[in-house]
Structure 1
Amino acid sequence: MPRNKTTFINLLVELPWWVSVLVSATAYVMMAYVLPSIQTDNQITDAVFQAFVIPAPYIAGLILLAAPFALLNTRRKAIQLDTQRNIQTVRDLHWRNFEELVAEAYRRQGYRVTEGGYGADGGIDLELRKDDLVTLVQCKQWKTQKVGVNVVREMFGVLTAHQANHFIIISSGTFTQQAIDFAAGKPIELIDGPKLLALVNDVQVSPQVTIEKPKVCPKCSGELVERTAKRGPNAGNTFYGCSNFPKCRYTE
């Protein structure tokens, strides 16, 4: 997904609260004590270093303001994960919240998670690190459309370019059989809606998720997915259609 440019304060808000405290303290010590104590042969440089004493408390205080917001942001992400109940609540999330949900789930599994900031096309949404292994994650919150093989091929190229150990593609929907076949035998893991729910359920403080068995098409044994009619007398109403459409046009 496209991302806006991240400011320094926004970055601090996304990080643990103690990072803001540490950066604030470091900035104050550097500006109020370290730089003014440096003596050079240039009087202008010395004057500039001495001048840092004046804005030091203000800049440190501004950085410190990010700490409570970071704490609230961390709490919000935790609540967001712990209140998920089924695949529909996951699909109702905004795409950015969907990425946060996935990030928080892996964070609770002991991964060091870096969110976003890898490019305007969103090729990499998360970076996971554990035991010196690097895993890249792409989040696809596709509700009615299957993730095709082209996406998996593209991410395999990204995996190779970044020399990572593993790549995970996560969707709240499903993957085409071609995508599944292409990923087989490669360091690529495909996590669909049911697997994502199982992941969320495993890390919730008090498991809330209801994992439902997917509806099966009686004609071709494909999965029935929920769709919304876009036109006709039933426009706006939801129905179940076969995921193998247009080869199979079964609905209910």
Structure 2
Amino acid sequence: MARKKKTSLAEDLMDLVSLLPWWIGVALAVISYSILRRLSVPPAVAALPSGQMEDVLTRSMLSGLAGLGQFVLPLICLAGAGVSAWRRRQRRNLVSNTAQAKGAYALNGMSWQEFEMLVGEAFRMQGFSVSETGGGGADGGADLVLSKGTEKFIVQCKQWKAYKVGVDVVRELYGVMAAKGGLQAGSW
């Protein structure tokens, strides 16, 4: 079993924001800046009774953290929004290039990651909300989770040079479908 690469909180947050539409990442950057900007104002210190000094010290420390965070958190959100926009453009270019290609030649030269992106984008264009669960390693038998209205679908993408899907793959997909509570499933 391969070990998961350790990441920092900033990398995890940027990855999370990059899964959202780019405009939400920009909105999160603006909102986090405005909130942290207000919190970064240091408290006024006057002649205080001895019992309130701890409270002022705590507020001063929080103000200092908010002062740093007002720049760091929006930058992380903007970086995630940039990654999201780049991925969206990459998907659209993939659909455009595949649509312009003749026959199955476009699919033959495509990596499995590009194939999953292409299938996901095709479903997005049909009005589905698509959650990509694959992308590197064990995905639990589901590469995409689609939803439209109250219906949910599990999609497992297989890019093979054959015309038939083996029975083992269908059984695996059925097992995932049963484990997730009877969702509808398909293999593309």
Is 2:18 the partner of 1:13? yes
Secondary structure of 2:175's match? Answer: helix
Asked if the contact 2:19–2:84 (Cα under 8 Å) also holds between the matched residues in 1, the reply is yes
Match of 1:89 in 2: 106
- The separation in 1 between residues aligned to 2:72 and 2:62, in whole angstroms, is 16
May I ask how many residue pairs the two structures share in their alignment? 167
Which has a greater percent of helix?
2
- Name the residue aligned to 2:138: 121
- Structure 1 residue matching 2:62: 3-state secondary structure: helix
1:78 matches 2:95: no
Render the CA deviation track for 1:75-97: whole Å, top value 9, x for unaligned. Answer: 22112112213222113111111
Structure 2 residue aligned with 1:151: 169
Q: Which residue of 1 aligns with 2:181?
A: 163
Indicate conservation of the 8 Å contact 1:36/1:52, yes or no. no
Paired with 2:13 and 2:66, the residues of 1 have a C-alpha distance of 22
Unaligned stretches of 5+ residues in structure 1: 171-252
TM-score (norm 1): 0.57
Which residues of 2 match residues 239-250 of structure 1 at below 5 A? Answer: none
Separation in structure 2 between the aligned mates of residue 32 and residue 164 of structure 1, nearest angstrom: 48
Mapped to 2, the partners of 1:73 and 1:118 lie a distance apart of 13
Bigger relative CO (Cα 8 Å, ≥ 6 apart): 2
Deviation at 1:44, TM superposition (A): 5.5
Question: Under a length normalisation based on structure 2, what TM-score does the superposition of the two structures give?
Answer: 0.74
Q: Once the 2 structures are TM-superposed, how far is the Cα of residue 23 of structure 1 from its aligned partner?
A: 2.0
Q: What displacement does 1:72 show?
A: 3.0
SS at match of 1:113: strand
Out of 44, 65, 76, the position equivalent to 1:62 is 76
Whose strand proportion is higher, 1 or 2?
1
Paired with 1:36 and 1:118, the residues of 2 have a C-alpha distance of: 43
- Gapped runs of 5+ residues in structure 2? 6-10, 43-51
Paired-residue identity, %: 30
What is the root-mean-square deviation in Å for CA atoms of aligned residues?
3.1
Task: Please state whether the residue corresponding to 1:52 is helix, strand or coil.
Answer: helix
Match of 1:132 among 133, 137, 150: 150
> Quick check: 1:109 aligned with 2:126?
yes
